[in-house]
Structure 1
Amino acid sequence: MKIALPTRENLIDGHFGHCEYYTVFTIDEQSKEILSQEIIASPAGCGCKSNIATTLKEMGVELLLAGNMGEGAVNVLKKSGIEVVRGCAGNVKEVALSWLAGSVMDSGEMCHAHEAGHECQH
């Protein structure tokens, strides 16, 4: 299984659409181990209007562990068959290991506020 995490400086980025890059871990669900790690460049633009959902799906990503994100991005990912867990924070490897241990749950919170000049309507 592959999981993706929106990342900035090895930490979960607080907003999915603004991340520096995506960390993609290939994991073994039975042994609860990370088998490999890849870095994927973040496309320009808002997360819900970029092609990142398609890119991640084509890589085999089934789950995205995120900080916060708008409803549009959540919907695009879910339509691509990628489960979304929001409310994550901290070092990406530690978050992935915590999820494997069963201690990470979706916060259910959506981002509704954006910086000045943000054009995307979530």
Structure 2
Amino acid sequence: MIKIAIPTRDEQVDDHFGHCDHYTLFTIDDQKQIIEKEYLASPEGCGCKSDIASILEEKGITLMLAGNMGEGAKNMLNSHHIEVIRGCKGDIKEVVKQYLSGFIFDSGKSCHHHEGHVCSHNR
């Protein structure tokens, strides 16, 4: 079983992890089927300066499928045993299906507005 988090806005991958409306959490069984979907409210302010990584870790999340995020946020999630795949776009359920089918890979691109972990990016 695997648990995946996706920064979400209007059932789409939010383009920026730190400013998403909420996180959608998917539980995937050993047959690569979605067996549970739940919502987690985004913390106030910028997610990169919150305790969201520890909250996600407590919920058993091991993977985040995200749009863009800075290296500081990625490193914070990684330190909580959460792998990050950046560059995801579109409908969240379709993104999960594409990942489970082996079609989603990390873009390797960081949001340069957040280099040095300075959060000043506006929506």
Q: TM-score, normalised by structure 2?
A: 0.90
1:3-24 per-position Cα deviation (integer Å, ceiling 9, x unaligned): 0000000000000000000000
List per-residue Cα deviations over 1:6-44 (Å, max 9, x = no partner). Answer: 00000000000000000000001x312100100000001
Cα deviation digits, residues 31-66 of structure 1 (max 9, x gap):
121001000000012222111101100000000000
Gaps of 5+ in 1: none
Where do 5+ consecutive residues of structure 2 fail to align? none
- Please give the alpha-carbon distance, in whole angstroms, between the structure 2 residues aligned to 1:76 and 1:47: 11
In 1, the alpha carbon distance for the partners of 2:55 and 2:119 equals: 20
- CA root-mean-square deviation: 1.5
Q: Number of residue pairs matched?
A: 117
Say which SS state the counterpart of residue 26 (structure 1) adopts.
strand
TM-score by length of 1: 0.91
Q: Which amino acid aligns with 1:102?
A: G
Residue identity in the other structure for 2:85: V
How much identity, in percent, do the aligned residues show?
A: 57
Shift of 1:113: 2.5
**Which 4+ residue blocks in structure 1 deviate beyond 2 angstroms?**
none
Aligned to 1:43: 43
Q: Distance in 1 between matches of 2:83 and 2:75?
A: 10
